[in-house]
Amino acid sequence: MSNHGPLHTILFDLDGTLVDSADLILASWRHTMDAHFEEPPAEDVWLRTLGQPLRAQFGYLVDTAEEVQAMVETYLKHNFREHERLIRPFPRVSETLVELRANGIRIGVVTSKASAGTARSLAACTLDEALFDVIVTSDEPVPHKPDPAPIRLALERLDASPETAAYVGDSVWDIRAGHAADVTTMAALWGPFSERELAIERPHIMLDTIDEVLRYIAPPEVPQPSL
């Protein structure tokens, strides 16, 4: 455990953490690369940038904003068409979120995905947006991961302290952003990044399954009888 206190607030990444979208993301990436390049970039480029907003990912590959926009449109058209067929929830996600809420823990989503895609992903995996106290997407006018700004924005909206908050994510960008925001960092080992890749970032906690997060929450307050 870190030097922080028992957790009252837990923020989650979306793709690769709450929803299993690796097949969908990779299929949309391949489709976009085939549409825009005669010789598509190697797929390790995809993994190195996975977890960043689309515009940042594509900005590494082309020179102009117009090219980036065209690639984003190609990607999203394919992604939305194949969304319900290829996305699925990870085991124990819904049950864990419900149990966190039942224990008085505030929960949120901080994702590099835009708000439209975030809503679509949550709905496809039957995760009610009302479960979350805050949702921060890449549509917010702040720098995004690995910058700590979106995590700090979520904490600000919840009036929550970083000392009793955690960020759970599957990518190196998640861990870097969490460290920079001074929250407890939890690496989700069920996503596409390997344990070795995540261990290099020195997360405070490694989680094999999402329900392990319940071990670190603050015990619920018991009302004291009036005298």
- Write out the catalytic residue numbers: 13
Tell me how far CA of residue 13 lies from CA of 75, 100, 110, 193, in angstroms. Answer: 20, 16, 5, 14
Round to whole Å and give the CA distance between 107 and 152: 14
Query: Do strands 9-12 and 165-169 pair parallel, antiparallel, or not at all (unpaired)?
Result: parallel
ω into 146 cis (within 30 of 0):
yes
Q: Enumerate the H helices of the chain as residue ranges.
A: 22-36, 43-49, 54-59, 65-86, 93-102, 115-124, 149-158, 172-180, 195-199
Contacts of 197 by beta carbon, 8 Å cutoff, 6+ apart: 172
**Is beta strand 106-110 parallel, antiparallel or unpaired with respect to 88-89?**
unpaired
CA torsion angle for 131, 133, 136, 137 (degrees, to 10)? 20
